[in-house]
Amino acid sequence: MAQPQQERAVRTRAALIKAAAEEFDLAGYAGTSTTKIIKRAGSTMGALYFHFGSKEGVARAVMAEQAADLPEQAGRSGLQRLVDLTLELAQELRSNVLLRAGVRLAVEQGAFGIQDDTAYQLWITRFKEELIAADALGELREGTDPAGFARVLVAAYSGTQLLSRISTGHEDLRERIVELWQYFLPAVATPEVIGKLDFGARGPETAQ
């Protein structure tokens, strides 16, 4: 009996996370109630409090798990994979409600009284991994610190996506990320590598 109960608990938690992400995405933290979450999930208040303890607990879970259903990336590690990742995130922010809600909550969290940088550290670590690989491949300019640039890139990306969300509902986010790279790449990457990077439809020349 224990196994079916555990499976139900996993399904219930996943349904609550999905419903919470959809509600937080629509109305933000302040505009979302636990009643709305359980109604959308088809669950109960008891289940929500069992799994998360509070509305704040659900919000923390959505922030922490924002990347849980992102697709795996293929291709060689390094700057190209990092560029691809930032552009794929731009697309996911338009279509992936869990990612979008997690990012929104991470930005809004001060308004509901918490300071949790877990989501930001997740992306700093992910970006740093590709920058370390890029450094090993000789793609970075001498003196570029992978950890330092990862922090700067996450901060810049966060601000860029926020402005894009407010201005166009993320419609222009891909263009804004290409623009971000246009200014960053000359400072951190060798000219030879910049010329080889593929930015898809926009073309690598936009980042030179």
Q: So what's the pLDDT on residue 203?
A: 43
Q: What is the pLDDT of residue 76?
A: 76
| pLDDT digits 0-9 by tens, 31-86 | 999 999 999 999 999 999 999 999 999 999 999 999 888 887 767 789 999 999 99
- Residue 169 phi/psi, 5-degree rounding, is 65, 35
Name the average pLDDT for the chain. 91
Q: What is the DSSP string of 62-122?
A: HHHTTTTTPPPP-S-SSHHHHHHHHHHHHHHHHH-HHHHHHHHHHHHGGGGT----HHHHH
pTM metric for this prediction: 0.84
